């Protein structure tokens, strides 16, 4: 036993030193600096788009409740014009990120503000919002302001043409996890039978460009559905190989452009395309700038600065003079990536169809995988009185009503709200009612990926008696309807 412990101890030290040596090596800071600018520009667009053009009253202030993530029920809406002020702060921070001006503070503030918006209403969940938060958290710890930034001009102590190799490793590995899971989750029965792609393409064909009309037919839909799987499962690993990196990146660009034209998915295509550039060699911006100068004789000062030949001794610095990555940072990177790899897989170990019961759906990169449409009628009864149907429009906005109708956790939250609302109403009338006397039932019927509508929740279950942590199979019914049209000959 002592010998085994001794061997394990030496192996642990060897692996730690190997990782530390590899991750401490200097690489060109150009790619990270360019991504900082692109990411800041995307965040600025998002802040202006939501803060100026989005109806904040319609999305947040027109309803009586906002749906909360478990353990984040304490997140409350700003009073007055708090949201407008927050978007203004976010816009200013995005400019700071883009220019590298007080970069670290701007990045932290933007991350906190965006996370707050994300946590405000669970009904507004989007995968690309979650990805923004992850990238923001990573960018907080990356020294992205060492090159081509105002901070580097103001403080020569942080200015550098290089960054440690762990910065690229962390970012690239995070993106590989996202892309691979985006392909793995599509290996399911519905997607392989072209749903919901067939539904979306049929609807989009009437309003999209003629070039996409062929996508409304099964051969085109099959090419799109199966092509996406190959793009993620095969293309993502090929991004790690220099010989295939450029053609795969160009295919991804075409894919993101089509997504942007056909679907309304905001900044996701452009942000992901920009992030994919981090797979290229760290010095690619300098090479690209030199190509522009040679091919098109571009004389812009910034392009000339980027194209400037980096001194040979910068990347060949004596390794003893390069700061070594600390133990805390190594531990952070390992734990972060382990969490990112494990959390999306949790739905594989939960019973039922995740697209139906939503157990483990969020934070799992299950992007554009299901189309659920339905309605949920709620009934409240007090004691032995006949249940009364609730008009959902009195409490929720249209977006919340549509989303809530087919998501069990949101249905549960709304039921708890109705219970408290009924208690407040009875108290205002001077009637004393025990909380145990108020019962809330729901008749929720949903259609998943063109299936016939089927009951989602057991109508006999009083939702106020259910704990939020109770397994969904105890009160959510199983999916009972098959796909009406199948592509695979089975």
**DSSP string covering 252-320:** HHHHHHHHHHHS--TTHHHHHHHHHGGGS-TTHHHHHHHHHHHHH----HHHHHHHSPPPHHHHT--GG
Summarize the confidence of residues 166-195 as an average pLDDT.
96
Confidence band (pLDDT; 50, 70, 90) for 155?
very high
Q: Which pLDDT score is estimated for 178?
A: 97
| Of residues 396 and 315, more confidently modeled | 396
Q: Which pLDDT score is estimated for 320?
A: 46
* Collapsed DSSP state (helix, strand, coil) of residue 355: helix
In this predicted structure, the answer to whether residue 8 has a pLDDT above a threshold of 60 is no
Q: Which pLDDT score is estimated for 6?
A: 61
Q: What does the block give as tokens for 253?
A: 């660009």
Measure the CA–CA gap between 198 and 288, rounded to whole angstroms.
40
What does DSSP assign to residue 58?
Answer: I
| Of residues 299 and 163, more confidently modeled | 163
In this predicted structure, the answer to whether residue 321 has a pLDDT above a threshold of 70 is no
Q: Which pLDDT score is estimated for 7?
A: 60
Q: Among 478, 464, 445, 446, which Cα is nearest to 387's? A: 464
In this predicted structure, the answer to whether residue 433 has a pLDDT above a threshold of 90 is no
Summarize the confidence of residues 94-101 as an average pLDDT.
98
Summarize the confidence of residues 391-408 as an average pLDDT.
96
Residues in the chain: 490
- Summary mean pLDDT of the chain: 90
Q: Which pLDDT score is estimated for 264?
A: 78
Q: Which pLDDT score is estimated for 429?
A: 86
What residue ranges do the domains of the chain occupy? 20-164, 165-280+326-370, 372-474
Q: Which pLDDT score is estimated for 358?
A: 94
In this predicted structure, the answer to whether residue 318 has a pLDDT above a threshold of 50 is no
Q: Which pLDDT score is estimated for 48?
A: 95
In this predicted structure, the answer to whether residue 299 has a pLDDT above a threshold of 80 is no
Q: Which pLDDT score is estimated for 9?
A: 56
Kindly report whether the peptide bond that precedes residue 207 is cis, defined as omega within 30 degrees of 0: no
């Amino acid at each position: 036993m002592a010998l085994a412990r001794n061997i394990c101890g030496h192996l642990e030290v060897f692996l730690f030193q190997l990782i530390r040596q590899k991750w401490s090596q200097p690489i060109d800071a150009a790619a990270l600096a360019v991504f900082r600018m692109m990411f800041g520009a995307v965040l600025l667009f998002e802040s202006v788009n939501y803060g100026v053009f989005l109806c904040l009253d319609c999305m947040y202030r027109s309803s009586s409740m906002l749906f909360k993530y478990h353990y984040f029920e304490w997140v409350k809406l700003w009073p007055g014009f708090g949201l407008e002020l927050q978007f203004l702060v976010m816009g200013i921070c995005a400019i700071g990120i883009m220019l590298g001006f007080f970069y670290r503070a701007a990045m932290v503030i933007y991350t906190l503000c965006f996370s707050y918006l994300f946590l405000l209403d669970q009904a507004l969940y989007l995968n690309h919002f979650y990805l923004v938060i992850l990238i923001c958290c990573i960018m907080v710890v990356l020294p992205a302001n060492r090159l081509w930034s105002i901070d580097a001009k103001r403080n020569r102590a942080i200015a550098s043409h290089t960054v440690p190799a762990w910065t690229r490793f962390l970012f690239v590995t995070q993106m590989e996890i996202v892309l691979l899971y985006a392909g793995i989750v599509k290996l399911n029965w519905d997607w392989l039978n072209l749903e919901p792609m067939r539904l979306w393409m049929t609807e989009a064909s009437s309003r999209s460009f003629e070039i996409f009309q062929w996508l409304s037919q099964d051969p085109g839909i099959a090419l799109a559905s199966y092509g996406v799987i190959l793009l993620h499962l095969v293309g993502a690993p090929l991004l790690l190989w220099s010989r295939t990196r450029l053609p795969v990146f160009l295919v991804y660009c075409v894919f993101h452009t089509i997504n942007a034209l056909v679907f309304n998915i905001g900044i996701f295509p452009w942000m992901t395309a920009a992030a994919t550039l981090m797979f290229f060699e760290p010095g690619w911006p300098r090479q690209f700038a030199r190509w522009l100068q040679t091919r098109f004789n571009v004389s812009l000062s910034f392009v000339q600065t980027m194209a400037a030949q980096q001194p040979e001794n910068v990347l060949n610095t004596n390794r003893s003079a390069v700061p070594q990555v600390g133990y805390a940072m190594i531990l952070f990177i390992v734990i972060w990536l382990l969490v990112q790899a494990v959390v999306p897989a949790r739905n594989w170990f939960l019973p039922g169809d995740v697209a139906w019961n939503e157990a483990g759906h969020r934070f799992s990169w299950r992007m554009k995988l299901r189309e659920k449409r339905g309605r949920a009628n709620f009934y409240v009864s007090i004691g032995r009185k006949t249940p009364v149907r609730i008009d959902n429009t009195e409490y929720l906005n249209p977006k919340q009503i549509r989303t809530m109708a087919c998501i069990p956790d949101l249905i549960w939250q709304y039921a708890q709200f109705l219970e408290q609302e009924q208690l407040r109403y009875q108290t205002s009338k001077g009637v004393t009612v025990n909380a145990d006397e108020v019962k809330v039932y729901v008749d929720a019927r949903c259609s998943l990926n063109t299936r016939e509508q089927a009951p989602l929740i057991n109508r006999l279950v009083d939702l106020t008696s259910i704990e939020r942590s109770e397994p969904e199979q105890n009160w959510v019914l199983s999916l009972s309807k098959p796909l009406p049209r199948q592509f695979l000959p089975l």
